[in-house]
Every structure is written in C-alpha cells, then in structure tokens.
Amino acid sequence: TLKSGQPGPVMQTIPAGEFMMGAGGLSTRLDERPQHKVTLPEFAMSQYEITFAEYEQFTKAMGRSAPERSGINPQTHPVVNVSWQDAQDYAAWLSRQTGEKYSLPSEAQWEYACRAGTDTPFFFGETISTEQANYHGEYTYGNGRKGKNRERTLPVGSLLPNAWGLYDMHGSVAEWCTDWYDTGYYAKSPKDDPTGPPAAKCRVIRGGCYLCDAGECRAACRDSLE
C-alpha cells in the first residue's frame, strides 16, 4: 500500500531457476543468438502492466505532466509513452512510498518471466492468435492465422496469463528493461543473473505492442530505444 493509502502494483513471485535465453529455430536475428543458459535467483514482477491511474499517482506527487490518455479508462488501461528514465523514476518513487525495492526487470528476468518454464516462441506455444494477445493480427507468425487489429490497448488482464500468473507479456504495450542494448551481448553474457553491457546508446524494450506483428511479440525478440 502506498503512503497515499492507494494500493501498489500486484506482485507475483517468480521462482529461481535456469533457462535457455535467446532464439534458435526459425529466427534469423543475430541479436537473439547464440542461445545460452542463464541462471536467476527468485524475484518478483508486477502481475499486470502499470495503468494510467497508478502512474498518475507518481506524476501528481512529483509535479510532472502525465501522458495523454484521451478516450480510455485510466483505471484499467496500461500507461503508454513513458520514457526509460520516467519508468526508472516511477520505480524509485514506489520504493520510497512503500519501503520495498522496486525496479525495472533485467532483460534476462523479463524473458525468463515471460517464458514461465516454456521453450517455445510464445508461452502459448509455437504461434499465437489475437484471442491470446493484443497485436496487429494481419501479420502472423509460423502457422498462425490472421486475426484482429484492435489498433488500441485493452484493459490490463483482459487476456490469458502465463503459467506464472503474468498478463500481457506478449503484445499490448512494450516494456522497458534496465539493460543497455548491445546486438552482440549474448556472445559474452555471463551465465549467472546477467544485467547487460556497461554502456551503449539504447535501452532494451521487450514484448512488442498492439501495433507490432506477431513475430515482434516473441519471448526472445529484442528491441531497443534511446
């Protein structure tokens, strides 16, 4: 609970374990290779993407401008147009408000949490449908069929979660990680709890969004933004 009396994010415990990070098979993206074994300790992740209402508690308290949210319900829809630094600042504010430590996930934590024990392109399996995730359904992956192009976000938790209770890990809104982005990082990444290169130009974004094609929403797909 925040000092304002409002509830904080609903957190889900992610068990310690190891997995194969990156992609093989059909992937031709060099930044997803080589697949490599990663071991992580237990951590926690928000069960849902952060809503406008949750984020606006922070902007109001800090005297900042809130992102535009025309035409949506701020209580239910995920916040968009948040920079990496703003996301960092929000996590730091949450930590001060609650006495708990919040942070963005590392890239390894994000992929491990998304996969939830699976080794397929999506935690649903080899392909995906717009009944399972919110993405541009005209653009398929593998043997997937065309589906809806909603052209907007859905309320958080509208579609099915993965086996660890996390919603909207594929599609919806792209999610920042703490790491700097380096195309060749996987070739030199440590096995234990990697946190990315020491510096680069861009930060890592994961998960794809409602505007993306299905392939960009894969568990292994990496993207970046300044």
Report whether 173 contacts 99 (CB < 8 A): no
Q: pLDDT at residue 26 above 70?
A: no
From 7-11, 34-38, 134-138, 182-186, the region with the lowest mean pLDDT: 7-11
Determine the pLDDT at residue 24.
78
Residues 63-88 have a mean pLDDT of: 95
Residues 44-61 have a mean pLDDT of: 97
pTM, 2 dp: 0.96
Residues 4-20 have a mean pLDDT of: 92
Determine the pLDDT at residue 28.
73
Q: pLDDT at residue 211 above 90?
A: yes
